[in-house]
A and B are shown apart, each in its own frame.
Chain A
Amino acid sequence: MKVEQVSVFLENKQGSLEEVMRILKEANVNIRTLSLADTTDFGILRLIVNDVDTTSRVLRDNGFRVSRTTVVAVEVPDKPGGLHSILAVLARENITAEYLYAFVEKSGENAVIIFRFDDSAAALEVLRNNSFSVLSGDKLVGGQAVWFLEWGRAR
């Protein structure tokens, strides 16, 4: 199952993240999880939200560059080796991830890893064939983001 993510281009300046959050608060958007990839002068904020359409519309209306991308959400047990179990399979099958970030589910038992793949279809097939639990967009909505990590090829 693919999940839609909203990415926002941000200048690396004081208050730009605050502005995005204020706009989303006023639009009553709930953020499931987020990740921020930054360089010295700009950053890309990536959001998993309960309402993708509203999020991209209000941000565009406020003069932001917005992109909607398809990502894949995979559930793993929240214990040592959880992320490695997925990465090992992906490496073996030559599947490349552009970036990933993660959060722990409210129950605390599972972690959800958000992946951006070059080829989502191929990645999904590999994940399913290896019995990983791939989550749908609506399953992601309603919990609470606890932690995230960022791993980008650009670094």
Chain B
Amino acid sequence: MDIMALNIYGLSEIMGPGVAMECTEGREGMHVFEDHFLVETINPDTGEVLPPGAMGELVFTTLTKEAFPLIRYRTRDISHIITAPCRCGRTHQRMDRVTGRSDDMLIIRGVNVFPSQIEAVLVGIQGLEPHYQLIVDRVGTLDTLEVQVEVSDAFFSNADEVRVLQKIKKRINKDLKDFLGITAKIKLVEPKSLQRFEGKASRVIDKR
């Protein structure tokens, strides 16, 4: 079928779909309808307004809504604003896809990270199960992150050696550092140690 699918961003608190939308020409980020909405990104912890392009929580102010205007409405959605001119010629700023929710964002030694980003790294490594748990703690003044993950049955079947398991631990460490800039302690666990979760929130134990 000759159909092109385009992303739309909207919030029921504002007006439902139609706060921002991709253009057919560019399809890189959604143009915010700036004649109706003012968009800002903030640091979700301090409320500080961030410069355009920085990853943060999206905040909208309605400019034309009459019965129920919203001023600096916090969406809890994490994304960033693209200010570069679009291929289509429209000058409205674009917002990138929402990568997470500010309520599950972790700040580890000043680095913002979402469980979904850690999950994406783990899924990219062959031999691991997509079951994991994150344990955040503070030792002295330093944040610590422990990633508990299982190796798959197939992986262990072919490798009952300590060095092979240590190698996969090193790989996880390296990928977390390379892709997310975080240092974590990796713990390989028995399958029955991890609860099977449906959602994402309970995958994190924050002891701080």
Contacts and interface: CB of A to CB of B under 8 A. Distances in A.
Interface of A: 7, 9-11, 16, 37, 39, 41-42, 44, 46, 60, 62-69, 98-99, 116, 152-154
A11 B190 CA distance: 6
Contacts of B153: 60, 65-66
A35 B52 CA distance: 59
A65 B191 contact: yes
Interface in B173-195: 187-193
Interface stretch (B84-92, B103-111, B118-126, B157-165): B157-165
A85 B189 CA distance: 39
Contacts of B157: 66-68
A154 B158 contact: no
Given A63-B190, A154-B166, A9 B161 contact: no
B151 interface: yes
29 contacts: A7-B156, A9-B165, A10-B190, A11-B190, A39-B162, A42-B165, A42-B187, A42-B188, A44-B161, A60-B153, A63-B191, A63-B192, A64-B190, A64-B191, A64-B192, A65-B150, A65-B190, A65-B191, A66-B153, A66-B156, A67-B156, A67-B158, A67-B160, A152-B162, A152-B163, A153-B161, A153-B163, A154-B161, A154-B162
Nearest to A69: B160
A-B complex: 8 closest residue pairs judged by Cβ atoms: A63-B192, A7-B160, A154-B162, A154-B163, A67-B160, A65-B156, A67-B157, A67-B156
Contacts of B191: 63-65
Contact of A16 (B159, B187, B190): B190
Contacts of A69: 160
B172 to A, nearest CB: 13
A116 B153 CA distance: 20
Interface of B: 150-151, 153, 156-163, 165-166, 187-193
A46 B190 contact: no
Contacts of A44: 160-162, 165
B154 to A, nearest CB: 10
Contact of A11 (B158, B161, B162, B193): B193
Nearest to B158: A67
A100 to B, nearest CB: 12
A153 B162 CA distance: 9
B185 to A, nearest CB: 9
Nearest to B160: A7
A9 B151 contact: yes
A63 B190 CA distance: 7
- Which of A67, A68, A116 has most B Cβ within 10 Å? A67
Nearest to B192: A63
Contacts of A66: 153, 156-157
B133 to A, nearest CB: 13
A67 B190 contact: no
Given A64-B191, A65-B150, 18 more contacts: A41-B187, A41-B188, A42-B187, A42-B189, A60-B153, A62-B192, A64-B190, A65-B151, A65-B156, A65-B190, A65-B191, A67-B156, A67-B157, A67-B158, A68-B157, A99-B161, A152-B161, A152-B163
